[in-house]
Amino acid sequence: MALKPGFGKWWRMGGAAEGLLAALVIIGLVGAVTYAATRPTVRHTWDLTKRDIYTLQPQTRGVLSGLETDVHFITIMRPESGPLFSGLAEVQQKAADYVNTLLRLYEQEAGGRVTLEILDPHRDSRRVNDLVRALHLQRYNVVLVQGPERTEQIFLDALVTIDRGLEEGGATKPAELRAYHAEREITSALQSVGVTETKKVGFLTGWGGPRMDAFEMFDLGLLAEGARGQGLEPVPIPPEDVAASLADVDVAVLCGPEIDPGDRVAQALIEFVAGGGALLLAIDPTHDAPGLDRLLSEVGLVRELAVLCRSDFPTVGPDRAILTVQRFDAEHPITAPIARQGTFARMYSVGGLARDRSAPSTTSTTPLVTTSSQTFGDRFAPGERSGDWMPTAGEREGARSVAYAVQPAEGGRAVVFGGSAHLTNGFLSTQEGGRANFDLALYALNWLVERESAIEVGERPAFVSRVDLLEDELSTVHLYVLLLMPLGGAILGLLVWFARRR
């Protein structure tokens, strides 16, 4: 290529500079794209993931903005060796990278209240060993959430769901990262360790029914432990002087009493709510309790004295009284996250609730959970706990509301359930419905203490677009992306430079 006469030295130097600049721009763009693709920390600013897994939810931002003390995160991650060729170590490393990146985002959003320390068991062995001894750690792959007074431990298998690669017919199934739910657990731990004022939840005792500190199937030990995990302090309220004890708690819980507490306790609870206190009440339909019926009427509700059963169930007997409920109010803070997740809860021997016609118009009563339309109310004789579990004449069929959130214009808040079994250990620990049951209970407690920001978000499915490459194919990709593409840009720039010198 020959240049026209009149182009001198400065023109040629400008052309050379233009060519070199083009080469540098191409190299810079390729390098930036490569860096962004291989460095998760870039996602702090631009979250381009399909499920927004690196974007904190408004509930989490609310907790971070309300932190009253400094919180220190420590991660100790070491992938395990799973079945041969399962890829478990690689999947766990990917999960660990996700957790560390998410924690960096917490650190950025907290305005100096949150700090992060990422430890390697080999490189930082002395520091890790000190933590193992001080905190009695049993294994690695853990996030430590340290506040001024207590430390929460969250293990990796509580932060993500990993299919570890089970053997099928003698073959090894590749491990797979299924879902992310780290934000839910981390935000809950923050709520636990990062506030100085601990809300107290008082469990009324002495009236029979589930026990607060026991772990038999129909007790409330798991609920009490879950409340502690939310930064709440469960305490017993003995029957001797309920009114005086209520003055020291923020929430009163009366769950499944088998003995009617009577007018004295009912009046104390009515005054407690009217004075700004919060009440979680779970009344079984089989218990005759005039005092509690009076309490229900005061908060604006009435109950149906019948056990709700499935009319579509193919067998007979008490199994009909186990209900799978999927209809959650999509607007209320307690149930909106559960409705979005599309999960279900399990309830047993529960009765219907409805708004009392005499309730003041200023009292808000929101039905939170509703059964399917294929439900009937099984009536029973006085003194009995069930009927025949079969629909008969006079037993109404149709959907019922079995949980309500109540908020009067003046006073506190109340959450009422038409039964108590779904709050007990046996229903909170089951794989079928247990997560939604637990969420329903803990979200209710957080709403009652006016901590809507602590109502956690659900898990996010892991979106995996997977291409399996052999080692030589992967080397070819690296060659093209990291060497030939930048080199091609440089050669193009040099060619332009040489052409302009002629």
Domain boundaries, the chain: 58-192, 199-448
When pLDDT is averaged across residues 347-353 and rounded to a whole number, the result is 95
| Gap between the Cα atoms of 154 and 147, Å rounded | 14
Flag the least confident range among 170-184, 225-239, 415-429, 448-462: 448-462
Residue 76 has pLDDT above 90, yes or no: yes
H-helix or E-strand containing 246?
helix 242-246
| Between 293 and 474, the higher pLDDT residue | 293
| Between 57 and 353, the higher pLDDT residue | 353
Question: What per-residue confidence (pLDDT) applies to 407?
Answer: 95
When pLDDT is averaged across residues 78-84 and rounded to a whole number, the result is 69
Residue 230 has pLDDT above 60, yes or no: yes
Of 478, 432, 462, give the one whose Cα is nearest residue 175.
462
Flag the least confident range among 284-288, 315-319, 346-350, 457-461: 457-461
The answer to whether the beta carbons of residues 410 and 376 sit under 8 Å apart is no
When pLDDT is averaged across residues 444-470 and rounded to a whole number, the result is 63
Residue 47 has pLDDT above 50, yes or no: no
First and final C-alpha spacing in the chain = 7
Question: What per-residue confidence (pLDDT) applies to 269?
Answer: 96
Flag the least confident range among 25-29, 58-62, 118-122: 25-29
When pLDDT is averaged across residues 331-358 and rounded to a whole number, the result is 90
Coil, strand or helix at 282: strand
- Give the CATH fold of the 58-192 domain: Glutaredoxin (3.40.30)
Question: What per-residue confidence (pLDDT) applies to 377?
Answer: 94
Residue 200 has pLDDT above 90, yes or no: yes
Question: What per-residue confidence (pLDDT) applies to 358?
Answer: 92
Tens-digit pLDDT profile for residues 249-261? 999 999 999 999 9
Residue 14 has pLDDT above 70, yes or no: no
Specify the CATH number of the domain 199-448: 3.40.50.880
Residue 39 has pLDDT above 60, yes or no: no
Residue 315 has pLDDT above 80, yes or no: no
**Three-state DSSP string of 323-337:** EEECEECCCCCCCHH
pLDDT band at 165 (very low <50, low <70, confident <90, very high): low
Per mean pLDDT, which of 351-360, 427-436, 462-471 is the most reliable? 351-360
Per mean pLDDT, which of 7-11, 154-158, 174-178, 408-412 is the most reliable? 408-412
pTM: 0.65
C-alpha to C-alpha distances, 127 to 100, 226, 386, nearest whole angstrom: 18, 30, 60
Tens-digit pLDDT profile for residues 352-399? 999 999 999 999 999 999 999 999 999 888 777 678 888 888 899 999
Flag the least confident range among 194-203, 341-350, 420-429: 194-203
| Gap between the Cα atoms of 282 and 269, Å rounded | 14
Torsion of Cα atoms, 336 then 296 then 349 then 229, to 10°:
50
| Gap between the Cα atoms of 313 and 324, Å rounded | 11
C-alpha to C-alpha distances, 225 to 222, 229, 424, nearest whole angstrom: 5, 6, 12
Question: What per-residue confidence (pLDDT) applies to 338?
Answer: 85
Torsion of Cα atoms, 342 then 348 then 351 then 354, to 10°:
-20
Residue 209 has pLDDT above 80, yes or no: yes
Question: What per-residue confidence (pLDDT) applies to 466?
Answer: 45
Of 36, 18, 105, give the one whose Cα is nearest residue 64.
105
Residue 110 has pLDDT above 60, yes or no: yes
Q: What angle do CA 390, 391, 395 make, to 5 degrees?
A: 130
| Gap between the Cα atoms of 217 and 428, Å rounded | 9
| Mean pLDDT of the chain, nearest integer | 82
pLDDT band at 453 (very low <50, low <70, confident <90, very high): low
Residue 402 has pLDDT above 90, yes or no: yes
Question: What per-residue confidence (pLDDT) applies to 410?
Answer: 86
When pLDDT is averaged across residues 417-443 and rounded to a whole number, the result is 88
